[in-house]
Amino acid sequence: MRIASLILAIFLFLYVNSDKNGFLRQTTRGSDSGSALMSNKTMTVRTPLELKMNSQKYVVTGYPQYVKVKISGPSAMVTTVSNTQNFKVYADLTKLGIGEHTVTLKESGLNSELRSKITPQKITVNIQPRSTITAPVEVRLNAKTVNGNYHVGTPKPSMKTVQISGAKNQVKKVAKVIAYVDIPKDASSNINRQVTLQAVDKKGRAVNVVVMPSSINVEVPITKQGDDDQISSSSSSDSESSNAKVDSSSIESSNSSNSSSSSSH
């Protein structure tokens, strides 16, 4: 009985110790994964810059379209923000007037556990009153002749005037809006092109304004020179025929007048 009790006690001792060691190992693994979740990470994200302003009344120039944001914090949170970019960087211009201003950029939407640094931290912007005018559209062709017996006719834009919007000091420089159309050398039929419009000043230099709409359709007629000659000949024949009729009626009128005169005598 004593020997059996001793053996049983030894087995119980080994069993209890093995359970404790297993529990300790599990606890250690859990702490390792917890420390991995709590590790810090730093990433730089490129994000668009937003402006808070009255865009219908003012125009702003001089600001970058994108800025960089350095984000630091818990690894999982930084990775999520980098993938979703569920935050924004903005410049508040609502209380500023016309002229040049230096503004500090701000961010919103980031978790309080994350730290951020915006580059650049400050920007210089120029605020000007917005102006809108109507300007004529002029179509320019890169070629007025094509290969073969074909003739390039007068281009027909879908719109003769468009709206120009932008800073007042830029809008007043606009003289006209140009639609450039490329005519292939082997063109043999009418051409339809959707072309981008460009506002220029009196010297033909581009002006920094917004053209609305930004593009229009232009139709350029391409005809055979022989067809043009036939049309011209047909018009000439009709004209001669018309003149002949007029001359004939004049002769008849003259003869009638003469016979009337002789009868009175």
Q: Is the pLDDT of residue 7 over 80?
A: yes
Q: Do 157 and 127 meet the contact criterion of CB atoms below 8 Å apart?
A: no
Give the DSSP letter of residue 99.
Answer: E
Residues 6+ apart with CB under 8 A from 127: 53, 58, 59, 60, 93, 96, 97, 98, 99, 100, 101
Please report the pLDDT score of residue 18 as a whole number: 57
46 or 27: which leads in pLDDT = 46
Q: How far apart are CA 123 and CA 209, in angstroms?
A: 22
Q: What DSSP line would sit under 4-50, residue for residue?
A: HHHHHHHHHHHHHHHHHHHHHHHHHHHHHHHHHHT-EEEEEEEEEEE
**pLDDT per residue as tens digits for the range 132-185:** 999 999 999 887 777 777 888 899 999 999 999 999 989 999 999 999 998 888
- pLDDT on residue 207: 93
Structural contact between residues 256 and 188, judged by C-beta atoms closer than 8 angstroms: no
112-148 b/e (C-beta count within 10 Å ≥ 16 → b):
eebeeebeeeebebebbebbeeebebbbebeeeebee
Q: Which of 209, 218, 219, 217 is nearest to 163 (CA)?
A: 209
Q: Is the Cα dihedral 254, 255, 257, 262 positive or negative?
A: positive
Q: What is the pLDDT of residues 173-231, one digit of tens each?
A: 999 999 999 888 888 888 899 999 999 999 999 999 999 999 999 999 988 876 544 44
Token readout for 89 is: 């960087």
Q: pLDDT value at position 160? A: 92
* pLDDT score for 38: 61
Rounded-to-integer distance, Cα 240 and Cα 80, Å: 85
Residues 6+ apart with CB under 8 A from 48: 65, 66, 89
> In this structure, what is the dihedral angle of CA atoms 222, 225, 227, 231, given to the nearest 10 degrees?
110
Please provide the average confidence, as pLDDT, over all residues in the chain. Answer: 79
Taking alpha carbons only, the member of 179, 175, 173, 180 closest to residue 213 is 179
Q: Give CA–CA dist 56/41, Å, rounded.
A: 42
77 or 248, higher pLDDT: 77
Structure-model confidence comparison of residues 96 and 252, the more confident one? 96
- Per-residue model confidence as pLDDT tens digits over 16-30: 665 444 444 444 444
Please report the pLDDT score of residue 262 as a whole number. Answer: 39
Give the separation between CA 29 and CA 76, rounded to whole angstroms: 19
Report angle CA 20, 24, 29 to the nearest 5 degrees. Answer: 150
Range among 4-8, 63-67, 183-187, 244-248 with highest mean pLDDT value: 63-67
Q: At what angle do helices 2-37 and 75-84 cross, to 10 degrees?
A: 40
Q: pLDDT band for position 55 (50/70/90)? A: confident
Identify the CA nearest to 191 among candidates 219, 232, 158, 224: 219
Better pLDDT: 260 or 148: 148
Do residues 179 and 137 touch, judged by C-beta distance below 8 A? Answer: yes
> Which residues are bridge partners to 106 per DSSP?
90
Question: What is residue 153's predicted lDDT score, i.e. its pLDDT?
Answer: 87
